[in-house]
Amino acid sequence: MFGWEFPPFHTGGLGTACEGLTKCLSKNGVELIFVLPKKLDLNVDFLKVVYADDNIPIKKQYYFNSIIQGYTTHKSYENKYELEKEKDLIYASNLNEEVERYGLVAKRIAEEETFDIIHAHDWLTFKAGMMAKRVSGKKLVVHVHATEFDRCGGQGCNQHVYDIEKKGMQEADQIIAISDYTKKQIVKHYGISPKKVIVIHNGTQFEEFILNEVSNLKKSKKIVLSLGRITLQKGIDYLISAARIVLKYDRNVIFVIAGNGDMYEEIVRKVSDMGIADNFIFTGWVKDKNEIKKMYSMADLFIMPSVSEPFGLVPLEAQMCGTPSLISKQSGVAEIFSNCLKADFWDVNDMADKIVAVLKYNELHKTLNENGKEEVKKLTWDKPAVRCMDLYKKMMEEVN
Amino acid sequence: MVSVCFYFQVHQPYRVKKYTIFDIGNNSNYFYDDGDNKRNNEKILRKVSNKCYLPANAVLLELLNKYPEFKISFSFSGVFLEQLEEFAPDVLDSFKKLVDTGQVEILAETYYHSLAFLYSKGEFREQVKLHENLIKRLFGLTPKVFRNTELIYSNEVAREVEAMGYKGILSEGSDNILGWRSPNFLYRPISTKKIKVLTKNYRLSDDLAFRFSEKSWKEWPLTAPKYVEWVNAINGNGNVLNLFMDYETFGEHQWEETGIFEFMRHLPGEILKHPDNNFKTPSEVIDSYNVMGDFDVPHLMSWADVERDLSAWLGNEIQHSAINKVYFLGHRVLKTKDEELIHKWRKLQTSDHFYYMCTKWFADGDVHKYFNPYESPYDAFISFMNVLQDLELRLEKYEMMNPDEKCNLSSSNFNNIYKFNSLLNNKSEGMINGNN
C-alpha cells in the first residue's frame, strides 16, 4: 500500500482514512506493507523499515526520505525545497520529479517484497503504484480520496497532476472512490467507465467528547462554527453571505471561522465590508486536537458549506463532540450521514433558514444531536474494510 | 358463515409548503406549494387520482353493479374531500357514484385526520361533528360507525365514541392487542354498554396491502382463488373477516402492473362461490352478530408499523414540540372566531405533518422516506414550526386589536396537553403507553 501521510505525521483526512482502513484490514488478517514518504534524519538511510508494534498495526512500514507531505502542491513543494536544498541534495527540485523518485523507490521495494495486491492512495502515489505493477505483474487498485478538480475548486487545474491521475486510473485494475460524488467526478472528468469504479465510503472512529466547562462566550451567545482550509473549495464565502441574512433575524450569533487558506484575507475583508465583523471570530489554524474538540463542543451548530467535498470528515467529528451539523449537499459525507441538516452550498437563503431554525428550536438541536450521535457510532471502518477485502479477493481470483 | 367486511381509508393531507423564516409575518399561505415537488397538493392529488382513485373506483363500480351482494365501506378524511372539491370534482363524482349504489357505507372520523383525541376531547368532538356535516352535505348519509385516525384506539376512545352515539368502532387486531383471540369476531370494549368493536384481520389485510407484489414472499404471485381458500378457512371459526386498508393500496402502493386491479376484479366472484360467504358493511356486521367477549386495550394502539403504537407520530422530541405548540395555541385561535384562521390551524393538526418528522428509521431509508414530501424529517419540522410562528404573529395582531378578548390560559380546555405530556414523561421510552 502506497500512501503519502499517516498519523501522527499528517495534516488532513487522507492520513486519518489510511489509519482507519489499515487498522481494520490488519484486524481482519490482511498483511500490509505500507510505503510512505517522510522527511527522515539525514544520518538514516534513504529507506527506513519499521515493523509492526503496538502503535502501528501494519506488518511492515517503509519510510522513504522525501519532503512530500499531505496536501503538498507544486508551490508548497518548491518552497520546502528551497529550505532543504542547502542541506541535502537527495530531494528532487520540483514535485513532479519527486513523484518520479517515489516511483523508483516503489520499483525497488516491489522487486524485493512479495505481495498480492498493490493499493495506492491518491495521485502522489499513482506513479509508485504503476511502477510496482510493472515490475511485479500484480493487480493495482487506486484509491481516490480527492481529484484535482476538488483541490482547485473548479479553477485552474494542474495539467500535470491531472495527467498522472488519469494515467493511474487507466492503468489501475480497479478504482475505489470514497463517495458517489467522487465516482461521478472520475467518470465525468477522466473518462473512466463507471463499472471500474467502486464506491467505498470512509468510516470513522467514534470518540465521544463531552465538555464540562461553559465559556463566557457560550453563556451569552449562540455559536456557529466552521473549520477547514479557507479556500474556494470550502465555500466559506457562501457561509458569510448566509451569516449576513441570519444576523438580520438574530443578532446574538457568533460565527467562528477556524482555519486558514488563500482566501483568508478576502473573507476577512468581505465580513468587515458587510459590517458584520463584530459577529465573526477568525482563529487561524488550531493545531491542538483537544482545542479542536473544545471548539466543536462549544458550538451550537457546525457548518461545512463546501463547494466540492469528496468526503468531509469534520461534521462527523463535530457530532462526536455533541454538535449537530449543516452540511453541503455537494459532499460525500452527505451520502451516508442522515441526521444532520443539508443545503446546496449556493443556496444561502436555505442555509440561513436552517441556521436560524436550529438556533431557535431547541428540540431540533436536541433531536439532531441525539440521533446524529447514534448514527455516527455506526459509521465505523469495519464495513468499508470488509468491502475492500472483498475487492482484493475478487481481483486475486481474476488473476487465477 | 363468513361476512367479508371491506373498509378503505382514503386520505390526503394538506402538506405544508417549504415555509422559511423569510415567510414568517409576510405570507400566510401555508399549504399551497405550486412548485414541481412532493408538497404540491394539487399535483399529488391528480397523480394519485389517476393511478388509484379513478381506476379503483371504476373497478368497484363495475363489481357493485355486477354483484348486488357486494358491499364495501369507506372512511374519507374531511381534508381529502375538501381537496377533491377544490382540485378534482370529477373524482368526487366517481366516489358519489359508488355511494349511490346503496352498497357502500361511510364511516365517521375527524375531519382533519388529527390526533385531537389525545390533546383535547372538545376539539375531537368538534372535528367529528364537522366531518359528519360534510358527509351529509356531499353524500346524504350520516355515519354510524367510527374509526379514529390511523385506527388509534384505547378503552377511553371507545367510551368517548359510545357517548357520542356511535354503535361501532374499528380497531387494529394484531396479536399484541388480541392475544390468543381471533379478530374474526365482534367484541365489547371494556366498560361500555352497547358499542361493538370490529378488529382488523391484519394477516389477510396485509397480504393485499403490503405483500401482494413482494416477489420474495412464498405465496407470490397471489391469485384470487388462492386468497379465497384462506378466506374460506375462517368458516367455522369466525363470523367476520375485517379487511381494513388504505385505499391507495390499489394502484399507488401496489402498482397497476402488479395485477392488483385484476385481482380485485375476480375477488368478489370467488368469495361468493362459497355458499356460506357474504359481504357486509360494518353497520350490517354489528347488526348481525353478537359480541364474543370483552376487548380491553388500556394503552393507546394504532395500525401503524410493527410496533402498532404511536411512535411514528409522537416518537421524538421534534414531533412532541411541534404538536404541543399546535394545541398550545388552540384556545387563542378559537377565541378569534376567525373561521379562516381556525380552519388553517386545524389543517395543521393533520397527523401526517408529525409523521413526516419521524426519525425512527430515517437512517435506514425505510417506508417513511418514500412518503415524505420533505428531504428530511428535520426539514419538515422547520417549515412547520415557521408556520406556527406566523400563526402566532397573527394571533398577537388580533389580540392587540381586541385587547378585551385576550384569553386566560388557565381556563383553557387545552390543559389536556400538560396532562398528556406528564404522562409521557413518566415513560422511559417516551412512548405513549399511559393507562388513563
Look up residue A145 and give its DSSP letter: S
Contact flag A342-B375 (C-beta cutoff 8 Å): yes
pLDDT, tens digit, 9 for 90 and up, residues A294-334 = 999 999 999 999 998 999 999 999 999 999 999 999 999 99
Cα B112 from Cα B220, distance rounded (Å) = 37
Whether A371 and chain B come into contact, CB under 8 Å, resolves to yes
pLDDT of residue A318: 96
Report the sign of the C-alpha dihedral through residues B230, B231, B235, B239, in that order.
Answer: positive
pLDDT of residue B304: 85
Angle at B6 between CA B203 and CA B133, to 5 degrees: 130
pLDDT of residue A339: 95
Tell me which chain B residues have a C-beta less than 8 angstroms from the C-beta of A376. Answer: none
Whether A93 and chain B come into contact, CB under 8 Å, resolves to no
Please state the three-class secondary structure of B316-330 as a single string: CHHHHHHHHHHHHCH
The chain A residue lying nearest B316, using CA atoms, is A367
Residue in A339, A357, A375 closest to B382 by CB: A357
Task: Encode A357-372: b = buried (16+ Cβ within 10 Å), e = exposed.
Answer: bbbbbebbbebbbbbb
Rg (CA), chain B: 22
Q: Measured in Å, how far apart are chain B's first and last C-alpha atoms?
A: 38
Cα A329 from Cα A341, distance rounded (Å) = 9
Domains and CATH numbers, chain A: 13-203+381-399 (3.40.50.2000), 216-378 (3.40.50.2000)
Closest approach of B364 to chain A, Cα-based (Å): 9
Closest approach of B384 to chain A, Cα-based (Å): 11
Report the sign of the C-alpha dihedral through residues A206, A211, A217, A220, in that order.
Answer: positive
Cα A316 from Cα A311, distance rounded (Å) = 11
Identify the residue among A363, A370, A373, A374 best suited for mutation to test binding to B, counting B beta carbons within 10 A and taking the highest. Answer: A363
Which residues are CB-contacts of A53 (< 8 A; sequence separation ≥ 6)?
none
pLDDT, tens digit, 9 for 90 and up, residues B297-347 = 999 999 888 788 899 999 999 999 999 999 999 999 999 999 999 999 999
pLDDT, tens digit, 9 for 90 and up, residues B25-52 = 999 999 999 888 899 999 999 999 999 9
Contact in structure between A240 and A355 (CB atoms under 8 Å): no
DSSP string, A284-344: E----HHHHHHHHHH-SEEEE--SSBS---HHHHHHHTT--EEEESSBSGGGT--SSEEE-
Contact flag B318-A367 (C-beta cutoff 8 Å): yes
> Which burial class, exposed, middle or buried, applies to A316 when counting CB atoms under 10 A from its CB (0-12, 13-18, 19+)?
buried
Which residues are CB-contacts of A261 (< 8 A; sequence separation ≥ 6)?
A229, A230, A231, A234
Which triple of cell numbers denotes residue A142? 487506486
Cα A396 from Cα B236, distance rounded (Å) = 63
Catalytic residue of the set B109, B123, B132, B150: B150
Closest approach of B77 to chain A, Cα-based (Å): 30
Whether A353 and chain B come into contact, CB under 8 Å, resolves to yes
| B150 annotated active-site | yes
Cα A337 from Cα A311, distance rounded (Å) = 11
Which triple of cell numbers denotes residue A11? 495534516
* Dihedral pair phi/psi, residue B9, rounded to 5°: -90, 125
- SS3 state of residue B167: coil
Amino acid (1-letter code) at residue B303? W
What percent of the residues of chain B are helix, what percent strand, and what percent coil, each to the nearest 5? 50, 10, 40
Contact flag B376-A338 (C-beta cutoff 8 Å): yes
Tell me which chain A residues have a C-beta less than 8 angstroms from the C-beta of B20. Answer: 349-350, 353
Decide which of B139 and B404 is more confident: B139
Residue in A356, A375, A378 closest to B21 by CB: A356
Q: pLDDT > 90: what percent of chain B?
A: 82
Closest approach of A147 to chain B, Cα-based (Å): 28
pLDDT of residue A37: 82
> Which burial class, exposed, middle or buried, applies to A51 when counting CB atoms under 10 A from its CB (0-12, 13-18, 19+)?
exposed
Contact flag A366-B20 (C-beta cutoff 8 Å): no
pTM of the model: 0.89
DSSP string, A175-191: EEESSHHHHHHHHHHH-
| Interface pTM, i.e. ipTM | 0.86
pLDDT of residue B411: 45
Decide which of A335 and A83 is more confident: A335
Decide which of A131 and B434 is more confident: A131
DSSP string, A11-58: -SHHHHHHHHHHHHHHHTT---EEEEEE---TTS-SEEEEE--SS--S
Which triple of cell numbers denotes residue A292? 479542536
| Mean pLDDT on A186-215 | 91
